[in-house]
Amino acid sequence: MPKIDILMPAPMSPEVISALDDHFILHRLWKQPDASKFLNKTGPHIRGLAVSTLAGRIDHALFDRLPALEIVANFGVGYDNVDARGAASRGIMVTNTPGVLDDEVADLTLGLLLATIRRIPQAERYLRDGLWPTGSFPLSPTLRGRRVGILGLGAIGKAVARRLDGFGVEIAYHGRARQADVAYDYYETPVALAKACDVLIAIVPGGAATRHLVNADILTALGSDGVLINVARGSVVDEMALFAALRSGTILGAGLDVFENEPNVPAALLDLPNVVVLPHIGSASVKTRAAMGQLVVDNLLAWFDGGKPVTPVPETT
């Protein structure tokens, strides 16, 4: 039986590329001198896509060029880079990589929270700049006595909550609906959650429904001792409103692993002393990224072997 043609629009890890080469005819679109000409010739034969956020938006513009496309295997639990509803309307399956990254992202979230509140990066810079002999680093705020609100209590949100339980802090949450098996206090709106807490952790999916969900009203509700942690998608936070809130003292500080226009980060945010910034590394460990890549491969293999992918997204099931 001839091998199936798979298209990879942008580079993925060498392990994923190697595994797909073993099982499929893998076409590397980024290596084509004329992508449009290549798609005109080869597009009708492509039955699968392996994509990450580096590929940009995957929607009708590409679907139209791939009339035989059956599946889009996305690298990442978030798949707002893929028009899943548009894919579903064409009978195209979409998969993602949930589960294998939950603990890694939760670990990073706690690290970012502690770094932001205890001002760990600022303290390190103080030492490296030779300032310790001139006097002690200023006292930091504390996690003690705080109430943490989790905006989006999905699998990763629950992993974050389990870790926070060990820190002895109160936990509350907001999501699309109250969860019957969750003992934490539930708030009907994000504003109500922010008003009741002084730490807000955003871990909701990206996309149009959550764009700028964390806005000026929520930041005001969070208050002058409040800390925002965003490990969701950059689009979830209104960065202009966040900059204004940080500069004016409307909130105390923020820890950000994601940004609206990655990898470009507004200089205005970088210049603020009360922000800790990371280059979107929530799941970026060798072990976890390897597991995510393997799940991309497994989804493609399972689909073409029997039409039942391992982790389909809800829109296409």
| Active-site annotation, residues | 233, 262, 280
Q: For residues 218 and 216, give the distance between their C-alpha atoms in angstroms, rounded to a whole number.
A: 6
**Cα separation values, 36 from 54, 57, 145, Å:** 18, 16, 58
Omega within 30 of 0 (cis) for the link into 263 = yes
- The tokens for 71 are 């599946």
Closest CA to 19 of 223, 300, 244: 300
Cα dihedral 138, 144, 150, 153 in deg (nearest 10)? 130
CB 49 within 8 A of CB 73: yes
DSSP 8-state code for residue 237: B
Beta strands 93-95 and 5-8 are unpaired
Cβ proximity of 284 and 278 under 8 Å: no
Q: 3-state DSSP call for residue 26? A: strand
